[in-house]
Structure 1
Amino acid sequence: MSRAQLKNSKTPNTSNPSSLKPRYEIRQLEPKHAKWVAAIVAHSNGFYSPVWPVLYPEKDGKDVIQLALDSDYLVMHQINSGLSFGVFDTEYVFKHDESKATEGKLYWDISEPSVKESQGLEADAQRLLQQMDFPLVSVALSYDAFNTLDMSKMESLLAALPHFGLVYHILGERDPRDPESWKPKGPNEVLLRNATSTRRDYEGEGTMAGLARWLMREADARGFRGIQIEALADAVTHVWSTSEPPYKGVVISEFHTDTWKDEGGNIAFAPAHQRVTKVYVDLKARA
C-alpha cells in the first residue's frame, strides 16, 4: 500500500498514518494498560494458538489467567521500553457502567470455576472474553534489543510454557548469520518484537497487519535499522516476511513442529502442526 493510501492519522505520529479503518486508533501502550495487554496475549495464545493449546490440552481458563499473571515481567519490560503499541476501538461499547467509568476493566478472577469440563474449552474462552471489557483490541509488543531481558525474571513464564524457550533455542541454533552482522552495538538499532495478539472478537479487521506495517515505518523514522520477530502463526510470518518496499523481510531460520526431533529422536512438539519462523526486516535495505 502506498503512503498516499494511508488515511488514518489517529496514531502516535500523525506524519505516519495507518491503513486501519477510521474507528481504530494506534496508541503507545502505557503501564496502566498492562493487565489488558497480558489478558489479550494470554487469551489469544492460550485458547487459539496453533501450538500452545495443542501441546497443553489439559489447561483451562484458570491456566490462561495464570499465564497472564506469569507474563507480567515480559509485558512490562516491553511497555516500559516505549516501543509497544496497541489498537484501540474508538467506538467500543462497554458492557458495564463500572467499565465505562474507568475507560475499561478486566474482570478475570482466578477463583472462578472453569467451565471447560462441563461445556468445553471454547465456552471457557468465551467466558473470559466477555470479562475483557475494554477498548484495546490488538497489541504489538516490542523492546530495544540493546536492553536485554533479565532471564531470571522469565522463569514463571518459561515454566508455564516449557516449549516457549525451546522455540527460541531452535531458531537461534538454525540462525546462519554472524551475530556481529545484526546485533546492536548500542540503543536504537534493532527492535525485537515479542507478542502479536488480537482479541478473538476483532479478528478479520486487519489490525495485526495494519499495526505491523505502521510499526515498520515508525521504527524506521525513529532510526532503527532492523526488526526481528519470532512467529508461530502463518499470518504473522507472511506479513513480516513480505514487508512492503522499501523494507525487506527475510525468514532467517525456521522449523516445523511436525518434523523437529530432540536428542532422543522424539518429535517434541507433537501433535502440533505449525511452521515456526524467525523473520528479520531490514529497514535500511534501500540505502
Structure 2
Amino acid sequence: MAEHTIKNRYEIHKLTAKHLPWAKAIITHSNVFHSPLWPAIYPVNKTQRAYALFSACDYMMAHQIASGLSYGVFDTQYKFKRADSVATGGALYWDAEANPEATGEELLNQMDFPLVSIAMALDQFDPLDEARLGPLVEALPFYADLYHEFDRLDTREAASWKATAPGQVMLRNGTSTRADYEGAGVMKELAHFLMRKAAEEGFRAISIECLHDAVCHVWMNPPDPYKARLIVQFNIDQYKKEDESIPYPDVDQLASRVFVELK
C-alpha cells in the first residue's frame, strides 16, 4: 500500500532492509557524479570513489533505514532493463572487480530498480556512531570538515534544538534523486511528505544540512503551518582550514543548515 501517490505514477514507501543496496547506489551515484559539490572537490577517479563510497556508507544508510524514518519514491511504471531484475522486483549490478573503469552512465544503467529518489533520516536521540563513520570520511574526506564547520558556526543554545527523548527532533541526512529522474518534481513532494509524516508522529522539528541550492530552497519554504529557520550558511569557496588556507576557492556552492519547526 502506498504511503502517498505523486502524479499517478510515483509512490512513496518507507524504506526497508531490502532497499539498502538500492539506496546506497542512489546516494553514491548522485553525490559522486551529479552533486554540485562533490565532483568539483573530487574531479578524478570518480568510479573508484563511487565503489569505495558505496561500501563505506553501509553503516550510515542501514542505521537510517532501521530508524523507520527513511522513505523513497518508487516509479510504478518503471521498465526493467534485464530479465533477471524482474524476478526480484529490481537489482543492482555494480561490480568493482569485473568493471573497475565503469563510466557514470554505465553505473546508472546497472541500477535496475524502481526506487528513484530517497530521503534518509534518523532520530536525533539515536545518533550515528561517529567511530563507525571512518570509512565514509576516508571516501569523502571533506565530509568531516563540512560537519565540523556546521557545528562550529551553529551558536544556538543546545536546549533549543537538542532532543531529550526519542521522537522529538528528526535529522534528515541524505537527499538524492537518480540522474535519470531529475526534474520530475519528486524531491519536493518527498520533502513535504516527510514533514507531514514527522509532524503526525509527534516530532517537533527536523534539522537538515543542504549542499544543493534546490534542496535548500525546498526546505526553507515548507508548507504551512511549518516554519523554517536558516541556522548556518557558508560558501565552500570561502571555507578556511585551521591554517587559514582556502582549499576549494573555485567551488562556488552554499552549504546550509536548516531547522524546520513543525509545532
Q: TM-score range by the shorter chain?
A: over 0.9
**Deviation (angstroms), 1:50:** 1.3
> Please, which runs of 5 or more residues in structure 1 have no aligned partner?
1-9, 117-123
1:255 is matched with 234
- What do you get for the CA RMSD once the two structures are aligned? 1.3
**Deviation (angstroms), 1:109:** 0.3
Q: 8 Å contact 1:257–1:272 — kept in the other structure?
A: yes
Q: Report the 3-state secondary structure (helix = DSSP H, G, I; strand = E; otherwise coil) of the residue aligned with 1:261.
A: coil
Alignment of 1:25-40 (within 5 A): 25-40=11-26
Q: Deviations over 1:146-187 (max 9, x none)?
A: 001111111000111111011111111111210111100000
Q: 8 Å contact 1:55–1:271 — kept in the other structure?
A: no
Moved more, 213-222 or 53-62: 53-62
> Please, which runs of 5 or more residues in structure 2 have no aligned partner?
none
1:6 is matched with none
User: Residue 213 in 1 paired to residue 192 in 2?
Assistant: yes
**Deviation (angstroms), 1:271:** 2.8
Q: Report the 3-state secondary structure (helix = DSSP H, G, I; strand = E; otherwise coil) of the residue aligned with 2:198.
A: helix
Cα distance in 1 between the residues matched to 2:217 and 2:192: 12
Cα distance in 2 between the residues matched to 1:104 and 1:217: 29
Q: Deviations over 1:173-207 (max 9, x none)?
A: 11121011110000000000001000000000011
Give me the identity figure in percent.
46
Q: 8 Å contact 1:42–1:67 — kept in the other structure?
A: yes
Q: Report the 3-state secondary structure (helix = DSSP H, G, I; strand = E; otherwise coil) of the residue aligned with 2:51.
A: helix
Cα distance in 1 between the residues matched to 2:83 and 2:20: 21
User: Residue 142 in 1 paired to residue 142 in 2?
Assistant: no
User: Residue 264 in 1 paired to residue 243 in 2?
Assistant: yes
Cα distance in 1 between the residues matched to 2:222 and 2:161: 18
**Deviation (angstroms), 1:11:** 3.6
Cα distance in 1 between the residues matched to 2:203 and 2:158: 17
Cα distance in 1 between the residues matched to 2:146 and 2:9: 36
Q: 8 Å contact 1:66–1:110 — kept in the other structure?
A: no
Cα distance in 2 between the residues matched to 1:92 and 1:36: 14
Cα distance in 2 between the residues matched to 1:112 and 1:61: 13
**Pairing partner for 1:280 from 256, 259, 263:** 259
Cα distance in 2 between the residues matched to 1:32 and 1:126: 24
Q: Report the 3-state secondary structure (helix = DSSP H, G, I; strand = E; otherwise coil) of the residue aligned with 1:159.
A: helix
Q: Deviations over 1:232-255 (max 9, x none)?
A: 000011000111110001110011
Q: 8 Å contact 1:55–1:270 — kept in the other structure?
A: no
**Pairing partner for 1:199 from 160, 178, 194:** 178
2:8 is matched with 22
**Pairing partner for 1:245 from 224, 227, 250:** 224
1:228 is matched with 207
Q: Report the 3-state secondary structure (helix = DSSP H, G, I; strand = E; otherwise coil) of the residue aligned with 2:231.
A: strand
Alignment of 1:1-287 (within 5 A): 11-12=2-3, 17=4, 20-115=6-101, 124-284=103-263
Cα distance in 2 between the residues matched to 1:242 and 1:227: 13
TM-score by length of 1: 0.89
Give aligned pairs, total: 263
Moved more, 270-279 or 88-97: 270-279
Cα distance in 1 between the residues matched to 2:101 and 2:15: 32
